[in-house]
């Protein structure tokens, strides 16, 4: 599997896991006794689920732009978000529904994805540096002649900068 395919697979796992947690947090986890009572949603019994899932999604997007040590730090943040989701879902009371288990599974996948990013993201491709400026060239001497200015423009230098 190529590094690009591993990155795409990692992103798919992160998006699916965080999406599952977001969906699970909006569903009814606890049915209240009585006909008119709607019950408690996942975000009612574990309010940290939504923000942690959104933070993990933001981390997945940030990993695309980061390189080197920053990429590993973002992977660690995704793992910590997953651990927070696990803790929040584990301590929540949810009798009779599977949504807690789905949130736990999503949190576990995010922990796994974060650890994978910390360990293996070094060879994954990053964003292109196509439009980044190279090192600046310093000119020595006095005023340049007209021909050297045109040559500099042909080389891609901006004489107004």
121 CB burial (10 A radius; 0-12, 13-18, 19+): buried
For the chain, give percent helix, strand, coil, nearest 5: 65, 5, 35
Mean pLDDT to the nearest integer, 113-128: 86
Quickly state the pLDDT bin for 102 (edges 50, 70, 90): very high
Q: How far is CA 38 from CA 22, 44, 88, 144, in A?
A: 19, 12, 22, 79
Q: What pLDDT shows up at residue 35?
A: 56
Mean pLDDT to the nearest integer, 77-104: 89
Where along the chain do its domains lie? 3-123
Q: At what angle do helices 69-91 and 99-120 cross, to 10 degrees?
A: 160
pTM confidence score: 0.74
């Amino acid at each position: 599997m190529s590094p690009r395919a591993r990155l795409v697979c990692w992103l798919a796992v992160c998006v699916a896991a965080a999406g599952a947690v977001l969906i699970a947090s909006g569903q009814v986890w606890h049915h209240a006794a009585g006909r008119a009572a709607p019950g408690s949603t996942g975000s009612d019994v574990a309010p940290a689920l939504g923000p942690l899932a959104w933070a993990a999604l933001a981390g997945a997007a940030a990993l695309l732009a980061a390189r080197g040590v920053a990429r590993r730090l973002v992977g660690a943040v995704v793992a910590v978000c997953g651990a927070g989701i696990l803790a929040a879902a584990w301590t929540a009371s949810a009798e009779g529904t599977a949504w807690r288990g789905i949130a736990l599974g999503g949190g576990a996948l995010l922990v796994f994805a974060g650890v994978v990013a910390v360990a293996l993201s070094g060879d994954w491709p990053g964003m292109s540096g196509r439009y980044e400026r190279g090192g600046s060239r310093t000119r020595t001497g006095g005023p340049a002649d007209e021909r050297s200015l045109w040559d500099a423009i042909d080389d891609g230098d901006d004489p107004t900068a």
